[in-house]
Amino acid sequence: MELFTPELGLVFWMFIAFAILFIVLWKWGWPVILKNMDERADTIDKGVEYAKEAKAQLDSARADAQKYIDEARKQQAEMLRDAAKMKSQIIEEAKKEASEEAKKVMDAAKVSIEQSRKEAELQFRNEVSKFSLDIAEKMVRNNLQSDKAQSELVNKLLDEIENN
């Protein structure tokens, strides 16, 4: 039963021991503990501030990165449009040059054909003329075997020359 009803002396010395312990803790323990808790709270607050700043910087970096990506996509699309325009221009120029070259070739072929036709025509005329002269010569020889026929032909040709 002594546990439930301690003696007065035991209570007194326990109270004195508690008071000394409380004074020592109050004088030297609590200030150190409170100071460490305040420092720890400041460190945590600073960590939270650093985390907020880091998050803000990260968000800013993400926004910048997204802006650069959007700008790069825009430039890429612009380059692709320019490339498509250049491609169509090159194709049009090639078609135009090809048609001009084909026209030149056709014109040259026409000129060549025309020259060949004229040469063939001239050669044909020359041959026809030669044959005509040969035929005329043979006919004139047959008709002009006598002197009388020769003088009639000469007189007739002179009359034609005088009239012209």
pLDDT value of residue 115: 94
Q: What is the pLDDT of residue 6?
A: 76
Nearest one of 156, 153, 135 to 145, comparing CA atoms: 153
Q: Give me the residue label for tokens 């075997």.
A: 145
Global pTM value:
0.41
Q: What is the DSSP string of 68-80?
A: HHHHHHHHHHHHH
Give the per-residue pLDDT at 35. 94
> What is the pLDDT at residue 86?
96
Read off φ and ψ for residue 137, nearest 5 degrees.
Answer: -60, -45
Q: Could you list the mean pLDDT of each consecutive 10-residue stretch along the chain, which spans 164 residues?
A: 74 93 92 94 96 96 96 96 95 94 94 94 88 77 71 80 82
